[in-house]
Amino acid sequence: MKRIITVTVINQSGVLNRVTGLLMKRQFNIESITVGHTEQPQISKMTFVVNVEDEQKLEQLLKQLQKQVDVLKVNDITEKSIVVRELALVKVVAPPAVRSEINSIVEPFRAATIDTGKNVVTFQVTGNPEKIDAFIDLLKPYGIKDLTRTGVTAFVRETQKVHTPQLSIL
């Protein structure tokens, strides 16, 4: 199961290496990683997407991350109400004859055209990873010349939904 983990750290040299080294040592494959400054320049936030099969192994990882000197806070936010975004740049083979067809495909995704060449168009699209995957899948038949994704960034929503169990009537 994919887990989204945020790690708030002191922004200094070597922190990313130590945190990813710990993930590597515990044999977690990092599917996505983003790092950036927070509202305080001396503090950064890392967002990892990792695939976890063993919940006990995940708990141990979270505890070990929290023990790191430069780590201020560790959260597994997967089960919470969260905002998740990713950005992708997709360069598509688009000769003039098919551009209107391609534009009709990209329009529902609210993708922006950021570069146009003689036979190529580059789009920028943001959203959750599933939206990005769907966007890419629809453009594949035209020929994707280049593709890059930022990785997931996420945080917990201000208002959490209250989960109430559903009663079944027999």
CATH of 83-154, picked from 3.30.70.1150, 2.30.29.30, 3.30.70.870, 3.40.50.150, is: 3.30.70.1150
**Dihedral, CA atoms, 58, 82, 16, 132, nearest 10 degrees?**
100
- Asked if CATH classification 3.30.540.10 holds for the domain at 2-76, the reply, yes or no, is no
- Supply the pLDDT for residue 117: 95
In Å, what is the CA distance from 82 to each residue of 32, 94, 155?
Answer: 17, 36, 6
Segment 43-58 mean pLDDT: 91
Domains 2-76 and 83-154 share a fold: yes
Helix (H) / strand (E) containing 22: helix 15-25
Q: Greater confidence, 54 or 140? A: 140
Give the pLDDT band of residue 168 (cuts 50, 70, 90): very low
* Percentage of residues in the chain having pLDDT higher than 70: 94
Interacting residues of 150 by C-beta distance below 8 A, sequence separation 6+: 34, 86, 87, 88
Nearest Cα to Cα of residue 150 among 90, 102, 97, 96: 90
Chain segment 12-32, per-residue pLDDT in tens: 999 999 999 999 988 888 999
Q: Which two structure tokens, joined as six digits, stand for 68? A: 């790191």
Torsion angles phi and psi, residue 27, rounded to 5: 60, 40
Domain ranges of the chain: 2-76, 83-154
Give the pLDDT band of residue 160 (cuts 50, 70, 90): confident
Chain segment 55-101, per-residue pLDDT in tens: 888 899 899 999 999 999 999 999 999 999 999 999 999 999 999 99
